[in-house]
């Protein structure tokens, strides 16, 4: 694993450089395999990233050969204010020429989060076909103030999952939406490139502890076989 921490005082430059990395990853993947697969992150932090991708970087990615998935999702309808899909659709997908069939939202209209997870795993297995694990070209992650990534939380059974590609998960009581669907660590760590995007002073302490592998936080289990980048606006790491 190659881990590189990139810190920027200027958030605009941070998002510009991250978009450059994403477009470079897309170009290499398409040149090599004819397609680029990326798992998007949810929450509030990546909105500006998606807006930048769909703005000044829109012509630097071959959207016709780009395939979008989600690293995790809240178990809410796609038009719900808490939906990760809705945020990405508003900030990115509706502004780029990506074919609808290249977008794979988590099927949250299933009867349960568990059923949604099983259905999404089937979709991934069809897309990646004979691969033992999906080989995403890029997985984008955030970092929670409690040290979680995707929807993998301390104490939840999903933390220890080793065979499933996708699982349901339960967020702590402090979260507005507790039922989640998430990629598992074997899938995240099989990606060719993983990017963790961390912004805001509230996350300084937890980022420091994760980078030092202190406290047993879920984010410390992100150890991809490929490249691992941390993009942050926090200096001193």
pLDDT for residue 177: 95
The helix/strand/coil state of 138 is: strand
- C-alpha closest to that of 186 among 211, 210, 152, 153: 152
Using CA atoms of 60, 196, 150, 137 in order, give the dihedral in degrees to the nearest 10. 40
Query: What would the mean pLDDT of 1-6 be, rounded to a whole number?
Result: 84
Residue range 173-205, pLDDT digits in tens:
999 999 999 999 999 999 999 999 999 999 999
Left if phi > 0, otherwise alpha if psi is -120 to 50, otherwise beta: which for 155? Answer: left
What pLDDT digit, counting tens, does each position of 167-177 carry? Answer: 999 999 999 99
At residue 1, the pLDDT reads 65
- What is the band of 235 on the pLDDT scale with cuts at 50, 70, 90? confident
Say what the pLDDT of residue 10 is.
Answer: 93
- Domains in the chain (CATH in brackets) are 2-217 (3.40.50.1360)
Question: What does the pLDDT read at residue 39?
Answer: 98
- Look over the chain and give the mean of its residue pLDDT values, rounded to a whole number: 95
- Segment 59-102, tens digit of pLDDT: 999 999 999 999 999 999 999 999 999 999 999 999 999 999 99
Q: Output the pTM of the full model.
A: 0.96
Question: What pLDDT does 215 receive?
Answer: 87
**In angstroms, how far is the first alpha carbon of the chain from the final one?**
18
């Amino acid at each position: 694993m190659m881990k590189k921490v990139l810190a920027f005082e200027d958030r605009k430059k941070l998002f510009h450089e991250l978009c450059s990395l994403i477009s470079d990853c897309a170009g290499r993947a398409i040149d090599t395999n004819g397609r680029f697969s990326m798992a998007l992150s949810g929450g509030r932090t990546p909105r500006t990233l998606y807006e930048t991708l769909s703005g000044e970087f829109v012509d630097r990615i071959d959207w016709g050969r780009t395939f979008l998935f989600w690293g995790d999702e809240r178990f809410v309808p796609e038009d719900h204010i808490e939906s990760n899909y809705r945020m990405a659709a508003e900030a990115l997908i509706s502004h780029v020429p990506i074919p609808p069939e290249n977008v794979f939202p988590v099927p949250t209209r299933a009867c349960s989060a568990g059923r949604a997870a099983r259905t999404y795993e089937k979709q991934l297995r069809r897309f990646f076909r004979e691969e033992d694990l999906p080989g995403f070209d890029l997985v984008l992650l955030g970092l929670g103030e409690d040290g979680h990534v995707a929807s993998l939380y301390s104490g939840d059974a999903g933390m220890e999952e080793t065979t499933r590609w996708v699982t349901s998960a339960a967020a702590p009581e402090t979260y507005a939406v507790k039922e989640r669907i998430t990629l598992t660590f074997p899938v995240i760590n099989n990606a060719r490139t993983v990017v963790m995007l961390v912004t805001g002073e509230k996350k300084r302490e937890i980022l420091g502890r994760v980078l030092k592998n202190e406290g047993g936080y879920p984010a410390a289990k992100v150890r991809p076989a490929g490249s691992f980048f941390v993009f942050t606006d926090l200096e001193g790491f």
